Each structure stands twice: as structure tokens, then as C-alpha cells.
């Protein structure tokens, strides 16, 4: 009787990447555009992709309740101008 073992280094069949794995692959080694978004005073936060990328780095975005209303008004004024 011959025991069959699977070599863990064997190539897995080609399967589509999950959403997070695809994000990691296209994010330039988890850089994304985090640096640019940190410089943006208008948004005060991250887009969906960068929000997920900061989680991969072990960071979480927090909301400052003290300035939430001010930021909402600021965004509304800017939208009305355009």
C-alpha cells in the first residue's frame, strides 16, 4: 500500500483572487494612495480601498465627534459651490 502525500509546495490550481487579495495585488505593496489621502484636509478620511489597506497595516480610522458637524458643513458648502 502506497501512502499518497501532497507536497505543500505544489502549485494550487488557478482560482480567482478574493476581493481583498485582488486589492493587495493592485495596491503597490499595500501602499495604495494612503499618503495622498493623509494630505487631503477636505475629506478627513480614507476611500474604501485605502480604508481596507490601513486595516492590513493594523490601523483603524476613528471619527472625531467634536468636529463632525463642522466637517459636514464644510463639505456641503463646497458641494454647493460646484
What per-residue confidence (pLDDT) applies to 79?
75
Q: What is the pLDDT of residues 7-17, one digit of tens each?
A: 666 676 788 88
Q: Which residues contact 23 (CB under 8 A, 6 or more apart)?
A: 49, 52, 53
Regions in the chain scoring below 70 on pLDDT:
1-5, 7-10, 12, 82
Q: What is the mean pLDDT of the chain?
A: 82
What per-residue confidence (pLDDT) applies to 4?
61
Task: Tell me the pTM.
Answer: 0.57
Task: Give the C-alpha separation, 72 to 56, whole Å.
Answer: 28
What per-residue confidence (pLDDT) applies to 72?
81
Amino acid at each position: 500500500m502506497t501512502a499518497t502525500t501532497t507536497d505543500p509546495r505544489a502549485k494550487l490550481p488557478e482560482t480567482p483572487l478574493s476581493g481583498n487579495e485582488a486589492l493587495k495585488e493592485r495596491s503597490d505593496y499595500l501602499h495604495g494612495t494612503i499618503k495622498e489621502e493623509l494630505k487631503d484636509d477636505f475629506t478627513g478620511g480614507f476611500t474604501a480601498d485605502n480604508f481596507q489597506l490601513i486595516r492590513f497595516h493594523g490601523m483603524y480610522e476613528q471619527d472625531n465627534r467634536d468636529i463632525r458637524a463642522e466637517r459636514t458643513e464644510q463639505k456641503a458648502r463646497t458641494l454647493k459651490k460646484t
